[in-house]
Amino acid sequence: MTEQATTGPRTVVVTGAGRGLGLAMARRAGADGFRVVVAEVDADRGARAAEGLRTEGIDAHCVPCDVADPQSVARLAARVAELGPLYGLVNNAALANGVGGKEFQDIDVATWDRLMAVNARGPWLVAKALHPLFGPVGRIVNIASDAALYGSPRLAHYIASKGAVIALTRAMARELGERGITVNALAPGLTECEATEAVPAERHGVYAANRAIPRPQQPEDLVGLAAFLLSEESRYLTGQVIAVNGGFTMN
């Protein structure tokens, strides 16, 4: 049995798709035939990413968006409504680079609140604004982190924000299931890309020493599973958190 089809190209929105993992997932979604919306806080970077995707034959559109700003998210929703129909959302945008190093008691309130505003509130704001635009079926993929599963030290605010993403995934799955919208989360390990350039060598060493697959993790190691979660084949999978980290954590 197949899901009810929609007419015209179906749209997938990827937040934070101007570089790294977000761009890799946007590229794969485009290669799979979806229209892609690159939602990116850095407008120039987002525009370059969308232009690069178009040179590859992908129907790509850039919409500048700060996921922590409700008005910016509302503008994203308005543009997506013009493109329609919406089929998929990948909540990838997050603050990750250079956020670690302090123990929980030494993190200042402003830093904590900024990370929570982007990493935890952001996915909720985007899903809240976009969910009315979904058709008879839909896919939401939230990007969490295996740090929230492992309990990495000196990352309390980041771990708390990604733990919130995991909990939000389960809550949304319960509420959106009747509409044919699945909601799942990917929990990547330490992935080598622009967003993790400032991660200390010590942490890279911890991952290298404890992964079952010792080689460094690349964005391409995640896009296949993200593509599956956006596909028709995942129609009966929802509310799940899947760690992709070479066996660094094992459930």
Two structure tokens written together for 138: 């839909």
**Does the pLDDT at position 67 exceed 60?**
yes
Q: Quick one: pLDDT band at residue 204, thresholds 50, 70, 90?
A: low
Determine the straight-line distance between the first and last CA of the chain, rounded to whole angstroms. 31
Contact (CB, 8 A) for 181 and 235:
no
Kindly tell me the number of DSSP H helices and DSSP E strands found in the chain.
9, 7
The pTM of the full predicted model, rounded to 2 decimals, is 0.93
Check if 158 is active-site: yes
Q: Quick one: pLDDT band at residue 77, thresholds 50, 70, 90?
A: very high
The whole-number pLDDT of residue 200 equals: 61
> Which of 137, 155, 150 lies closest to 89 in space, CA to CA?
137
For domain 11-243, the CATH superfamily is NAD(P)-binding Rossmann-like Domain (3.40.50.720)
Q: Which of 12-26, 30-44, 94-108, 236-250 has the lowest mean pLDDT?
A: 94-108
Q: What are the residues whose beta carbons fall under 8 Å from the beta carbon of 110, sequence distance 6 or more?
A: none
Two structure tokens written together for 110: 């402003």
CA atoms of 117 and 157, how far apart (whole Å): 11
Residue 232 falls in which region: left (phi positive, over 0), alpha (psi -120 to 50) or beta: alpha
Indicate which residue of 150, 158, 207, 236 is catalytic.
158
